[in-house]
């Protein structure tokens, strides 16, 4: 790494940094004095019994979203997806996923000797699978489809119509639809929405990691149809016992009105960053045919600058001090032509990063 790169902004990570002036970056901004005391008290008193507040969390979640059957559990979406696939997949089964996608989701499929079957997506379908592409890829071994909306790495949100068409296709084939809504609430063109508005037989995973900015607390939930509740509950109990008690107490603050106000400020700050970064990158020559509608990522075509995005990412890091993720991290669909930018750093950092890239490209 070059000397300069140490001091320069990284535009990479998927962990949201604090945005407004609510707190320092490595401290959860939403934890007020009272919440902090509650978390500390649990640790000091050794009151780490099974699930002290899960029920309350579930009730809060239901009050906020109107959805029933929420099951809070630890390990973010990661643990719950593992439990879901353990319950639904057998060796040799297939699950349809978009390419590019968040890599761990396809790794979870492999964990159970099943196969991720990748559907290439691009700007012509807003980087999301469609009813037609899901139907065309559904084979005899396919058990279901997993999509993320908004997506990592593209920031694209699936339309209601296409999601409906995917659900219809899955129903016709007696398969499941599971939607990873971890970026729910981080949308910039429309309000928060959930696939559950569409149908009750959809599975949804979510966590406190992104919108609530609590990645390190490792707390997530899954919403399942009533018929599947007991199965997933039993498995999750066997696999994880219960969510960590301090995390549960911390998360109780998440649904309070004052917290939700902070989160709205934060969302607007992400929008400001997106609205700066996307045109700035386009101006430099990156190909961004569709403005990302959510999350905090820009999946940008870099073919104009280099034949291989991996080499280009190394150059950006060494010569401009800017870290991006090469397309290879997200799949096999033209990965050499893409890099992913994350706008998880401050606007000033992003501006500095863009200035550095500009200088680097001019010095070619």
Ligand X SMILES: Cc1ncc(COP(=O)(O)O)c(C=O)c1O
Residues making contact with ligand X (CB under 6 A): 14, 76-78, 102, 148, 152, 180, 182, 207, 209, 215, 220
Give exposure, 1-11, as e/b (b: 16+ Cβ within 10 Å): eeeebeebbbb
**Rounded least distance, CB 39 to ligand X, Å:** 19
**Rounded least distance, CB 76 to ligand X, Å:** 3
Structure tokens at 151: 């997506």
Q: Give CA–CA dist 148/186, Å, rounded.
A: 13
**Rounded least distance, CB 200 to ligand X, Å:** 22
Q: Which lies closer to ligand X via its Cβ, residue 277 or residue 320?
A: 277
- Angle (CA) 105-95-338 rounded to 5° is 50
**Rounded least distance, CB 92 to ligand X, Å:** 25
Would you say how long the chain is, in residues?
Answer: 364
**Rounded least distance, CB 35 to ligand X, Å:** 20
**Rounded least distance, CB 15 to ligand X, Å:** 8
**Residue with the closest Cβ to ligand X?**
76
Q: What is the helix (H) or strand (E) element at residue 148, kind and residue range?
A: strand 142-148
Q: Give CA–CA dist 220/205, Å, rounded.
A: 8
Q: Give CA–CA dist 269/18, Å, rounded.
A: 10
Q: How far is CA 87 from the centre of its chain?
A: 22
Structure tokens at 349: 């950092």
Q: Give CA–CA dist 143/118, Å, rounded.
A: 14
**Rounded least distance, CB 152 to ligand X, Å:** 3
Residue 164 pairs in a beta bridge with none
**Rounded least distance, CB 130 to ligand X, Å:** 19
**Rounded least distance, CB 198 to ligand X, Å:** 19
- Angle (CA) 74-78-84 rounded to 5° is 95
Q: Which lies closer to ligand X via its Cβ, residue 220 or residue 326?
A: 220
Place of tokens 């104009």: 304
Q: Which lies closer to ligand X via its Cβ, residue 215 or residue 346?
A: 215
Structure tokens at 274: 């997106």
Q: Which lies closer to ligand X via its Cβ, residue 155 or residue 301?
A: 155
Give exposure, 141-166, as e/b (b: 16+ Cβ within 10 Å): ebbbbbbbbbbbbbbbbbeeebbebb
Q: Which lies closer to ligand X via its Cβ, residue 77 or residue 259?
A: 77
Q: Which lies closer to ligand X via its Cβ, residue 75 or residue 137?
A: 75
Place of tokens 């010095």: 363
Q: Which lies closer to ligand X via its Cβ, residue 12 or residue 78?
A: 78
Q: Which lies closer to ligand X via its Cβ, residue 14 or residue 250?
A: 14
Q: Which lies closer to ligand X via its Cβ, residue 215 or residue 358?
A: 215
Place of tokens 């999509």: 147
- Please give the backbone phi and psi of residue 202, each rounded to the nearest 5 degrees, phi first: -95, 150
């Amino acid at each position: 790494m070059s000397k300069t790169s140490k001091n320069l902004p990284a535009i990479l990570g998927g962990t949201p940094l604090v945005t407004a002036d609510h707190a320092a970056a490595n401290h959860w901004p939403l934890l007020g004095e009272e919440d902090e005391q509650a978390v500390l008290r649990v640790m000091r008193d050794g009151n780490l019994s099974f699930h002290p507040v899960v029920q309350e969390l579930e009730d809060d979640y239901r009050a906020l979203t109107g959805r029933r059957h929420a099951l809070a559990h630890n390990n973010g979406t990661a643990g719950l997806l593992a439990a879901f696939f353990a319950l639904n997949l057998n060796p040799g089964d297939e699950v349809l996923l978009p390419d590019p996608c968040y890599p761990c989701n396809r790794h979870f499929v492999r964990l159970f000797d099943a196969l991720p079957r990748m559907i290439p997506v691009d700007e012509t379908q807003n980087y999301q699978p469609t009813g037609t592409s899901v139907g065309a890829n559904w084979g005899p071994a396919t058990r279901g489809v997993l999509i993320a909306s908004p997506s990592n790495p593209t920031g694209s949100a699936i339309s209601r119509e296409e999601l409906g068409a995917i659900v219809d296709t899955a129903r016709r084939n007696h398969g499941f639809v599971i939607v990873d809504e971890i970026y729910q609430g981080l949308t910039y063109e429309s309000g928060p929405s959930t696939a559950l508005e569409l149908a009750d037989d959809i599975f949804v995973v979510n966590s406190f990691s992104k919108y609530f900015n609590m990645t390190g607390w490792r707390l997530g939930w899954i919403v399942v149809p009533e018929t599947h509740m007991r199965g997933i509950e039993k498995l999750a109990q066997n696999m994880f016992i219960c969510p960590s008690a301090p995390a549960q107490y911390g998360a109780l603050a998440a649904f309070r009105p004052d917290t939700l106000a902070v989160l709205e400020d934060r969302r607007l700050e992400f929008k400001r960053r997106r609205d700066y970064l996307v045109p700035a990158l386009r101006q430099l020559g990156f190909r961004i045919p569709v403005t990302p509608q959510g999350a905090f990522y820009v999946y940008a075509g870099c073919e104009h600058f280099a034949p291989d995005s991996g080499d280009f990412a190394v150059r950006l890091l060494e010569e401009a001090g800017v870290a991006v993720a090469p397309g290879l991290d997200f799949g096999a669909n033209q990965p050499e032509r893409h890099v992913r930018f994350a706008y998880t750093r401050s606007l000033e950092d992003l501006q500095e990063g863009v200035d550095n890239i500009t200088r680097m490209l001019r010095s070619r």
